Amino acid sequence: MPAKNVGRAKKAEKLKIFRILAGTLILAAAFWGQGRDLPPAADFAPGWSLGEKLVFVKGNLYDFIDGGADLYLEFGFERVLVQRYKNGEAELTLEAYEMTDADAALGIYLMKCGVETPLPDIPARNTGEPAQLTIVKGRYFLHVNSFSPGADLLPDMVRLARRALESVVDDRPGRWLDLLPVEGRIPGSERIVRGPNALQSIYTLGEGDILLLGGRLIAVAGDYKSESGPWTLVIVPYPDETAAAASLSHLRAHLDSYLKVTDERGDGFVFKDFKEKFGAVERKGPVLEIRLNLSSAFDALH
């Protein structure tokens, strides 16, 4: 079974387990702030009725997401409301994740969307397939799931998504991704990093908060084409040069043991990993630039 389907099957089973908790986990609409109209009623399309409604907050997100809650919490998670809809044997589920800000919502979306296949009828950034829609708007990250294999529910999934999005304020994220040079960048490779969990999915530089982001600062990453193969650029803007210098010093002192430093310089260093690939770290004023998966020491030094 494909990984996505396995994940959806686990969530379906989890929701069954939590039916008995529905009464205690439903919160007042005011609890949702700007998203108080989420999720919509079942009138988004004919034939649908409301099923269970569950709310998971920071303290019990682990009860809903197996193995992935840390990433949501790291980006900045407030709560997720899960609403089930029934139409005969067919079933849809809306998961509306309220994040602390639009940067957090976009960060999660970029980590989860895979290769984007956007549906034009959804008025927000999205990627979709018959079993799942993944959407980001403002500080909300949304999943619309179909648990009815073979049923052509995609039109109703789109209608449900459109209705839910009507209640979401279109807060815009910061222009962090503009820090990444456009030339040579591989579309869809962009990532936002707010802590060690997101960074580990890109590269292992060391344990813990190796870049001293502190849950407040944001780094960005993207992959680039070159004649010798793809490589990765990570850019970390700090409040000032002092903070950037402290981060460089911390990274050098706590660099992962499998990374071997091959060259030192005043504002950076070069290292080689176990795959015989090279990396380079350089401080440019209040910014750290980290280049990864380079094919040669020459590339790292230039």
Q: Tell me whether residue 230 is in a domain.
A: yes
Average pLDDT over residues 147-171: 91
Domain termination site, one of 117, 136, 165: 165
**Strand 287-294 versus strand 231-237 pairing type:** antiparallel
Per-chain mean pLDDT for the chain:
89
Average pLDDT over residues 169-174: 94
Domain match, 153 and 34 both? yes
Domain match, 156 and 192 both? no
Give 147's pLDDT tier (boundaries 50, 70, 90). confident
Residue 169 has pLDDT above 50, yes or no: yes
Q: Tell me whether residue 262 is in a domain.
A: yes
Contact 109, 198 (CB under 8 A): no
Q: Tell me whether residue 147 is in a domain.
A: yes
Domain match, 155 and 214 both? no
pLDDT digits 0-9 by tens, 78-129? 999 999 999 999 999 999 999 999 999 999 999 999 999 999 999 999 999 9
Domain match, 113 and 141 both? yes
The pLDDT value given to residue 37:
67
CA 121 – CA 162 distance, rounded (Å)? 8
Domain match, 21 and 147 both? yes
Domain match, 155 and 199 both? no
Residue 48 has pLDDT above 80, yes or no: yes
Residue type, 184: G
Start-to-end Cα distance in the chain: 45
Neighbour tally for 219: CB within 10 Å: 23
Q: Tell me whether residue 170 is in a domain.
A: no
CA 196 – CA 203 distance, rounded (Å)? 10
> Partners of 132 in the beta sheet?
129, 145
pTM: 0.86
Domain match, 51 and 121 both? yes
- Cβ contacts of 245 within 8 Å, gap of 6 or more: 283
Higher-confidence residue: 228 or 15? Answer: 228
**Strand 77-87 versus strand 49-57 pairing type:** antiparallel
Write down the residue that tokens 């008025």 correspond to: 123
Name the strand (E) or helix (H) holding 108. helix 102-112
Domain match, 89 and 181 both? no
Average pLDDT over residues 241-249: 98
Q: Tell me whether residue 46 is in a domain.
A: yes
Domain match, 180 and 125 both? no
The pLDDT value given to residue 29:
36
Average pLDDT over residues 48-54: 95
Domain match, 161 and 225 both? no
Domain match, 221 and 119 both? no
Residue 36 burial by Cβ neighbours in a 10 Å radius (0-12, 13-18, 19+): exposed
* Cα 11 → chain centroid: 18
Q: Tell me whether residue 104 is in a domain.
A: yes
Residue 181 has pLDDT above 90, yes or no: yes
Domain match, 93 and 121 both? yes
Residue 172 has pLDDT above 70, yes or no: yes
Residue 2 has pLDDT above 70, yes or no: no
Q: What is the tally of structural domains in the chain?
A: 2
Q: Tell me whether residue 91 is in a domain.
A: yes
CATH number at residue 247: 3.40.1000
Domain termination site, one of 136, 165, 194: 165
Structure token pair of residue 166: 């009507």
- Cβ contacts of 82 within 8 Å, gap of 6 or more: 15, 52, 53, 54, 55, 56, 64, 93, 94, 95, 96
Domain that holds residue 263: 176-301
Domain termination site, one of 145, 165, 185: 165
Q: Tell me whether residue 171 is in a domain.
A: no
The pLDDT value given to residue 18:
43
